[in-house]
Amino acid sequence: MNGLTNKDLPHREPWTTILNSAKSLQPLPNGLSATKWRKRVSMSNASPPVKLDIKSATLLLVDDEAANLRLLTTVLEQAGYSNIISTQDPREALPLQLEYKCDIILLDLNMPHMDGYEVMEQFNAIFGAHLPPILVLTAQEFQGLRQRAFNTGARDYVTKPFDIPELLSRVSNLIEVKLALDCISEQNETLEQRVRDRTAELIRTQKELQESRLQVVRRLGRASEYRDNETGLHIIRMSEFAALLGKSIGLDQYYCDLILNASPMHDIGKIGIPDAILLKKGKLDAQEWEIMKTHAQIGADILSDADSDLLIMAAEIAITHHEKWDGSGYPKGLSGEDIPISGRITAIADVFDALTSERPYKHAWSVADAVNLIEEESGHHFDPFLVEHFLKILPDIVELKEMYAEPDVNHSSSPVPK
């Protein structure tokens, strides 16, 4: 008998390494998809190693000699294998493999129509890295042919006439490795699915948390507006204006979304202003005005020490949206680009909507009058660059204003109030 020794084989991962890894795996949990592998694996409710059911494997025999097929079938059946498929036509090998997904292929080399090498090349083209183990059975002993077989995809090589116990051992080893790899693959797929499920769950939770935060933010903004006899539609309009203006100057979507959701809290500090001042009808005196101006700092204090981008920007807007380009604003007298872009954007959006909205103490300005004032204040109150872009998107601004119009409010074009 001219069997192969270990040194005749190309370098592969030792079987013992693969088998020990597979056998140490715990039984798969209930609920997995019904696959062919589950029919081959015996699992208990405890935690012993997985038992590989080698004898239930499916074998494909390909040999043009009917006598050889009968001998191989008899030998394998006597050894306990029951799922055996055979063909004398090598052209049927691939269709049979695709249909039955055999665990091992015993393949002759010298055959009509297609030799064993062509069969393996055909298999390689279809299965690639998932090529099933192939055991070559041939009367050819030339070392070059062996090496060619290994290079083409064979996992083992046995010469005829073969020693039956050796052949059965090689068949058993190859099947065991195949089933072990299937087991590892199944376990990996299960773990990957668990990771995907947990990731999807985490994403859902994060979205729900983010939505909850946004709801809190919007309600805080509305709370401050209600104290000032305004409706929640003001903060919706001005925040939409601000996001649109940010987009028009090239800010990325994430930043525009932050402005959209942070700007409604620009006047949250009004919560800390006494009603006698906040709701006073008529002009505030100097002392009252100084108190009113503290709402910017109060708002920043309320929103400070946050660790989310949303609240950090909200605090930034609260304390800077009353700053002016020329430095005459409050509370810190910042000027130019020392004022954060979020504060400069919110200033224009807030003033435009305040001017064009009717309040108990004033009529609504016309859009034209409000635009004229914003143009006049370019370089004084407002950033000239932002004013330029605001005018470019004015049709979109007006469309948003109409979309979120106050109910039953008659927008007047009366003269500009003092």
H-state helical runs in 164-251:
164-227, 232-248
Q: Which pLDDT tens digit goes with each residue over 209-231?
A: 777 777 777 677 666 666 655 55
Quote the CA–CA distance of 96 and 115 in Å, as a whole number: 17
Say how far apart CA 316 and CA 42 lie, in whole Å. Answer: 63
Hey, what are 303's tokens? 């929103």
| Dihedral angle computed from the Cα positions of residues 300, 305, 307 and 309, in that order, rounded to the nearest 10 degrees | 20
Residue 34 confidence (pLDDT): 35
CA dist 131 and 106 (Å) reads 13
What is the distance between the alpha carbons of residues 62 and 369, in angstroms, rounded to a whole number? 91
* pLDDT value at 404 more than 60: yes
| Mean pLDDT score, 130-141 | 88
Q: C-alpha dihedral over 280, 240, 342, 344, to 10 degrees?
A: -60
Whole-number average pLDDT of the chain: 83
Share of the chain above pLDDT 90, in %: 57
Of 106, 219, 194, give the one whose Cα is nearest residue 154: 106
For residue 173, what pLDDT is reported? 93
Structural domains of the chain in order of their starting residue, each with its CATH number = 6-198 (3.40.50.2300), 228-403 (1.10.3210.10)
Q: Are strands 134-138 and 104-108 parallel, antiparallel or unpaired?
A: parallel
Q: What is the pLDDT of residues 20-65, one digit of tens each?
A: 444 444 444 444 433 443 444 444 444 445 567 889 999 999 999 9
**What is the percent of the chain where pLDDT is above 70?**
81
> In this predicted structure, what is the pLDDT of residue 37?
37
Alpha carbon distances (Å) from 295 to 233, 259, 342: 21, 20, 18
Q: What is the dihedral of CA 219, 225, 228, 230, to 10 degrees?
A: -120
**pLDDT tens digits, 79-124:** 999 999 999 999 999 999 999 999 999 999 999 999 999 999 999 9
The Cα–Cα gap between 40 and 322 comes to 74
Question: Do the Cβ atoms of 239 and 246 come closer than 8 Å?
Answer: no
Tokens encoding 70: 């009968």
Least confident residue range of 65-74, 124-133, 200-209, 292-301 = 200-209
pLDDT tens for each residue of 153-168? 999 999 888 899 999 9
pLDDT at 411 over 50: no
- Alpha-carbon distance values, 200 to 81, 196, 197, 204, 407 (Å): 44, 6, 5, 6, 41
**pTM score, two decimals?**
0.54
Q: What is the pLDDT of residue 363?
A: 87
pLDDT in tens, 291-345: 999 999 999 998 888 788 888 999 999 999 999 999 999 999 999 999 999 999 9
Instruction: Count other C-beta atoms under 10 Å from residue 327's C-beta.
Output: 14
